[in-house]
Amino acid sequence: MIKIRSLRFLTAMSLIGVAAANVSAGWSVLRFAWTEISWPSGTSADVFGPFVSTPGVASFALRRIAADTAGGVAGAQARLGALTDLLSRKPLDSAAWFKLAETRLAMGDTLERVVGALALSALTGPNESGLMASRALFGWRLWEVLPPASRRNAVVDLTGVWGALYPHERTFLRDEVIRGDDKSREELRALLLVTDPSGARISAELGLEQRPAEKTPDEKPESPGP
């Protein structure tokens, strides 16, 4: 009888412990949610910093800090720290890797480290349409200095997401491509043609197939002015 009572006591205490842990976690979530709703004055790092070591909401807090658009060195350093911490916990977070690439570029980090973060974003989230367009645009803006593998990744993202883009998004990308120099545009066109069966159509829609009109043999040169 004593053993049965002891077993029941231990079982009850275990259940109480589990319940207490759940209540504590639930309270942390409620406090975090209330902080998001009320959002007192201050930067994301000030507001959500206390939550980065709180189980259950730490990752959400780090994402909030990483998404802050505060300028200056302090803002960039806060984002960099939050992203580094977040990726140490969730190394397969493709959005965080892309944000890290953007942050490293903004802070003047080496191209190797920027490209490394960008490549890991493509590796961990190859089919995430929400990221593919952003990575393609990011890659195009760095096209002249990107290594061949990163250029190919940008084209793979572009061809993979093109069909899911809204018309205004396609127009925006087309305008960005049009601003590029002739050499970069020709390189992009060549990669599109060899990367995907839809490459020729996308190339045309991006305006890459357009060529300056050539004079015909019968066309006479304009007479010089007086």
DSSP per residue, 148-209? HHHHHHHHHHHHHHGGGS-HHHHHHHHHHHHTS-HHHHHHHHHHHHHH-TTHHHHHHHTTTT
In a shared domain, residues 98 and 130: no
| Residue 142 phi, psi (nearest 5) | -105, 10
The pLDDT value recorded for residue 173 is 95
52 and 93 in a single domain? The answer is: yes
**End-of-domain residue from the set 108, 134, 161:** 108
- Greater pLDDT, 225 or 117: 117
Residue 4 or 104, more confident: 104
Do 91 and 131 have their domain in common?
A: no
Banded model confidence at residue 22, pLDDT cuts 50, 70, 90: very low
Residue-level pLDDT at 48: 66
In a domain, 119, yes or no: no
Whole-prediction pTM: 0.74
Between CA 5 and CA 7 the distance in angstroms is 5
121 assigned to some structural domain = no
Kindly report, residue by residue over 157-212, the tens digit of the pLDDT: 999 999 999 999 999 999 999 999 999 999 999 999 999 999 999 999 999 987 54
Give the ranges where 1-128 is alpha helix by DSSP (H). Answer: 2-38, 44-48, 58-66, 72-89, 94-106, 111-124
In a domain, 52, yes or no: yes
Per-residue pLDDT averaged across 25-32, rounded?
52
Residue 143's domain spans which residues?
126-210
Over residues 34-42, the mean pLDDT reads: 56
Question: Do 77 and 148 lie in a common domain?
Answer: no
Stronger pLDDT, 1 or 161, i.e. the higher one: 161
222 pLDDT higher than 70: no
pLDDT of 45 > 80? The answer is no
31-60 mean pLDDT: 63
Quick one: 203 and 131 in the same domain?
yes
Q: Is residue 39 part of a domain?
A: no
Check residue 9 and give its pLDDT. 42
Q: How far apart (Å, rounded) are the C-alpha atoms in residues 199 and 211?
A: 18
For residue 150, what are its two tokens? 């990163």
Q: Which amino acid does the sequence have at 74?
A: A
Q: Is residue 63 part of a domain?
A: yes
Instruction: Please report whether residue 26 resides in a domain.
Output: no
> Number of structural domains, the chain?
2
pLDDT at 60: 74
What's the mean pLDDT when you consider all of the chain? 79
**161 domain-assigned:** yes
Residues 136 and 88 in one domain: no
Residues 101 and 64 grouped into a single domain: yes
